[in-house]
């Protein structure tokens, strides 16, 4: 079973703690079982005969047993809780590492919302079950069996009450649990649903406001919320039923013991102390059954959660790559596309078709093409965000799939089209590239990226805070910080995916001048829309609808390539007017 293997795997390091829980539970349960029989002795041998000494001595024994019971119970719960929390923590850690290792493909297949729920709420459910199991797994069966034996020892004539009440309780609670099972799965799915809607709305809040889509979006949220509420209410209804039913069984059992036991005492077949002990044992047994069923009740939900966690844990990254370096880390950065064909999963036709070109170290390659032509897809293949279906992407002659993730990221610096910054400070973001970078290195990178002035104007300079996603700086500032971040890393291959689009023409020109010096003999690949950005490139690759339709310098292409000329003309007219 998925749940068992998941839990056992994570419980392995805590064997000693779990053993301690078991031993403490055992002592505590035996002590609890001993108490009613001592009580019966006091009544039957002490109270009825007026033997005060016996009452005192047995009373002291009871007190000792009671203290032992309390102490061991506290200890058991303490270690149980610690173990459960530790297992939960480890599970979250492993989950995080797994998610971290997955490629964009698998992450896209699961989706962010469900990954977040699985990594938090689902782990929590499993952790709860572990806690319950540790608390009741030993005590419940011992309490049940031991209770029955002790009860029968007190008075065998009333034993039929045990045989009737225990199965009755078991069947009733079991039936309710059976009703609950499917509801729990629905609940987990709907938590996913509400997370996904909420996430999208918060991320896209500005767009929602700009298009006055609030009523529509609130409706969408309301529906998800209603859906979750409806399942929760169903679950609640069953719980509402469960407690009175359990209580009813307990009270009926009590009444029956008193009624039938009373008659037996009257007839002289049973002593009064035995009657009280029998009653206490019966209640202990029923309580244990109830706890056992509660525990069992948590299993279906935890099973669902465990399956959802295991689903992610069992996913292998489609781009595993070597974990230890098997190839030399490339030192030049010569990028070569060899007959590369790539399509997104589920798409009918490939986005890139038979792409071949080479970008040499020390030169700049520009990639142009209309929107949706496949430029970003092409760039993303170099740091291996995706793998091509056919052909190979090579750096210094080594396929990127044969390099480790660390090697790839040390060689390739990508400034993506959607620049992303992490919460922290400007400095902490820039040091993503290289943790050991000094402040001077950071300033140097900012100078090249044309970001020095605006960072200087910040109150705290490099230590100025950055919000999650970089939402507290402007689009152009974010682009420049991302460029600086790539520069700090000093990779062999620089990839700029439309990274100058938010800059004005003058800043763009200054940046490219500075960049030319800074990148030196590294390979530079630039995706750009603006002709002025790419005009000086050593090589221009024109992409149209996933195929390369032209390659050469600006001068060569402007005469010989129809697609390129159209792009140039569409922009020159604009720029001439400007």
Q: Which residues contact ligand UTP by CB under 6 A?
A: 344, 347, 351, 369, 371-377, 417, 498
The nearest distance, CB 107 to ligand UTP, in angstroms, is 11
Which CB sits closer to ligand UTP, 47 or 107? 107
Which CB sits closer to ligand UTP, 199 or 402? 199
Contact set for Mg ion, span 37-66 (CB under 5 A): none
Check residue 499 for interaction with Mg ion (CB under 5 A). Answer: no
Q: Considering CB distances under 5 to 8 angstroms, the limit depending on partner class, which of ligand UTP, Mg ion, none binds residue 477?
A: none
Which CB sits closer to ligand UTP, 295 or 385? 385
Which CB sits closer to ligand UTP, 257 or 373? 373
Bridge-partner residues for 398, per DSSP?
395
Which CB sits closer to ligand UTP, 98 or 375? 375
Check residue 501 for interaction with Mg ion (CB under 5 A). Answer: no
- The whole-angstrom separation of Cα 525 and Cα 494 is 6
Which CB sits closer to ligand UTP, 343 or 491? 343
**Which residue do the tokens 């609030």 mark?**
214
- The whole-angstrom separation of Cα 219 and Cα 226 is 10
Instruction: Please spell the DSSP secondary structure of 242-311, one letter per residue.
Output: HHHHHHHHHHHHHHHHHHHHHHHHHTTSS-HHHHHHHHHHHHHHHHHHHHHHHHHHHHHHHHHHHHHHHH
**Which residue do the tokens 């170099």 mark?**
382
Residue 298's alpha-carbon distances to 133, 216, 287, 449, in angstroms, are 10, 37, 17, 56
The nearest distance, CB 342 to ligand UTP, in angstroms, is 9
- The whole-angstrom separation of Cα 20 and Cα 5 is 22
The nearest distance, CB 186 to Mg ion, in angstroms, is 39
The three-state secondary structure class of 335 is strand
Q: Considering CB distances under 5 to 8 angstroms, the limit depending on partner class, which of Mg ion, ligand UTP, none binds residue 519?
A: none
Minimal CB distance residue for Mg ion: 376
The nearest distance, CB 371 to Mg ion, in angstroms, is 7
Which CB sits closer to ligand UTP, 154 or 544? 544
- Answer for which of 254, 358, 409, 417 binds Mg ion (CB under 5 A) is 417
Pairing of strands 539-544, 364-368: parallel
The nearest distance, CB 497 to Mg ion, in angstroms, is 6
The nearest distance, CB 417 to Mg ion, in angstroms, is 5
The nearest distance, CB 512 to ligand UTP, in angstroms, is 19
Residue 451's alpha-carbon distances to 92, 96, 382, 513, 525, in angstroms, are 38, 34, 27, 14, 21
122 burial via Cβ count (<10 Å: 0-12, 13-18, 19+): buried
Minimal CB distance residue for ligand UTP: 376
Check residue 376 for interaction with Mg ion (CB under 5 A). Answer: yes
Judged by CB under 5 A, the stretch of 234-242, 376-384, 396-404, 438-446 that binds Mg ion is 376-384
How many positions of this chain bind Mg ion (CB under 5 A)?
A: 2
The nearest distance, CB 506 to Mg ion, in angstroms, is 24
Nearest in space to 497 (alpha carbons), one of 467, 521, 533 = 533
Q: Considering CB distances under 5 to 8 angstroms, the limit depending on partner class, which of Mg ion, ligand UTP, none binds residue 369?
A: ligand UTP
Check residue 370 for interaction with Mg ion (CB under 5 A). Answer: no
Which CB sits closer to Mg ion, 29 or 376? 376
Q: Considering CB distances under 5 to 8 angstroms, the limit depending on partner class, which of Mg ion, ligand UTP, none binds residue 374?
A: ligand UTP
- DSSP at 19: H
Q: Considering CB distances under 5 to 8 angstroms, the limit depending on partner class, which of Mg ion, ligand UTP, none binds residue 232?
A: none
Judged by CB under 5 A, the stretch of 151-159, 411-419, 451-459, 464-472 that binds Mg ion is 411-419
Bridge-partner residues for 552, per DSSP?
540
Q: What contacts 471, CB < 8 A, 6 or more positions away?
A: none
Which CB sits closer to ligand UTP, 376 or 410? 376
The nearest distance, CB 378 to ligand UTP, in angstroms, is 7
Q: Quick check: 412 and 491 in contact, CB under 8 A?
A: yes
Contacts 24+ apart (CB under 8 A), 235-243: 235/180, 235/183, 235/184, 235/187, 238/176, 238/179, 238/180, 238/183, 241/176, 242/173, 242/176
Judged by CB under 5 A, the stretch of 121-129, 246-254, 410-418, 421-429 that binds Mg ion is 410-418
Which CB sits closer to ligand UTP, 84 or 355? 355
Pairing of strands 547-552, 539-544: antiparallel
Which CB sits closer to Mg ion, 376 or 450? 376
Check residue 416 for interaction with Mg ion (CB under 5 A). Answer: no
Q: Quick check: 99 and 120 in contact, CB under 8 A?
A: no
The nearest distance, CB 468 to ligand UTP, in angstroms, is 22
Q: Considering CB distances under 5 to 8 angstroms, the limit depending on partner class, which of ligand UTP, Mg ion, none binds residue 210?
A: none
Nearest in space to 175 (alpha carbons), one of 253, 242, 251, 247 = 242
Q: What contacts 107, CB < 8 A, 6 or more positions away?
A: 99, 115
Which CB sits closer to ligand UTP, 351 or 542? 351
Q: Considering CB distances under 5 to 8 angstroms, the limit depending on partner class, which of ligand UTP, Mg ion, none binds residue 351?
A: ligand UTP
* Interface ranges with Mg ion (CB under 5 A): 376, 417
């Amino acid at each position: 079973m998925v749940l068992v293997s998941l839990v056992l795997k994570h419980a392995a390091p805590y064997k000693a703690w779990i053993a301690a829980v078991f031993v403490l539970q055992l002592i505590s349960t035996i002590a609890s079982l001993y108490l009613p029989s001592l009580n019966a002795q006091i009544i039957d041998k002490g109270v009825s005969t007026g033997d005060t000494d016996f009452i005192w001595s047995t009373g002291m024994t009871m007190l000792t047993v009671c203290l032992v019971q309390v102490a061991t119970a506290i200890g058991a719960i303490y270690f149980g809780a610690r173990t459960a929390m530790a297992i939960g923590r480890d599970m979250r850690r492993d989950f995080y590492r797994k998610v971290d290792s997955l490629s964009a493909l698998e992450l896209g297949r699961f989706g962010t919302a469900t990954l977040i729920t699985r990594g938090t709420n689902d782990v929590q459910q499993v952790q709860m079950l572990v806690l319950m199991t540790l608390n009741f797994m030993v005590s419940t069966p011992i309490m049940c069996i031991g209770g029955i034996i002790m009860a029968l020892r007190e008075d065998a004539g009333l034993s039929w009450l045990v045989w009737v009440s225990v199965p009755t309780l078991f069947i009733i609670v079991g039936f309710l649990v059976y009703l609950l099972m499917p509801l729990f799965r629905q609940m987990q799915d709907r938590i996913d649903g509400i997370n996904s809607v909420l996430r999208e709305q918060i991320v896209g809040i500005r767009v929602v406001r700009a298009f006055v889509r609030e009523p529509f979006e609130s409706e969408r949220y309301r529906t998800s919320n209603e859906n979750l509420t409806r399942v929760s209410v169903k679950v609640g209804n069953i719980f509402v039923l469960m407690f009175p039913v359990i209580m009813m069984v307990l009270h009926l059992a009590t009444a029956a013991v008193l009624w039938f036991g009373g008659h037996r005492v009257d007839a002289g077949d049973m002593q009064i102390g035995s009657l009280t002990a029998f009653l206490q044992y019966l209640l202990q047994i029923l309580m244990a059954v109830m706890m056992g069923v509660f525990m069992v009740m948590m299993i279906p939900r935890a099973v669902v959660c465990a399956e959802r966690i295991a689903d992610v844990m069992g996913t292998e990254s489609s781009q595993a790559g070597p974990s230890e370096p098997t190839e030399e880390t490339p030192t030049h950065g010569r990028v070569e596309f060899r007959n590369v064909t790539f399509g997104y999963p589920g798409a009918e036709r490939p986005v890139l078709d038979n792409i071949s070109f080479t970008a040499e170290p020390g030169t700049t390659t520009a990639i142009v093409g209309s929107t949706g032509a496949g430029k970003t897809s092409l760039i993303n293949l170099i740091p291996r965000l995706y793998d091509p279906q056919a052909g190979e992407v090579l750096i210094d002659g080594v396929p990127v799939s044969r390099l480790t993730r660390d090697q790839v990221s040390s060689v390739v610096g990508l400034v993506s089209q959607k620049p992303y910054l992490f919460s922290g400070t400007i400095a902490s973001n820039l040091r993503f590239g290289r943790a050991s970078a000094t402040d001077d290195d950071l300033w140097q990178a900012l100078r090249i990226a044309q970001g020095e002035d605006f960072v200087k104007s910040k109150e705290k300079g490099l230590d100025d805070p950055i919000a999650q996603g970089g939402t507290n700086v402007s689009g152009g500032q974010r682009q420049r910080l991302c460029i600086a971040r790539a520069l700090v890393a000093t990779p062999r291959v620089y990839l700029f995916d439309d990274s100058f689009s938010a800059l004005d023409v003058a800043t763009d020109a200054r940046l490219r001048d500075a960049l030319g010096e800074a990148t030196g003999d590294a390979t530079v690949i630039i995706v750009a829309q603006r002709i002025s950005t790419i005009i000086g490139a050593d090589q221009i690759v024109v992409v149209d609808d996933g195929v390369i339709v032209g390659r050469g310098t600006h001068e060569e292409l402007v005469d010989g390539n129809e697609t390129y000329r159209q792009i140039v003309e569409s922009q020159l007219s604009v720029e001439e007017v400007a």
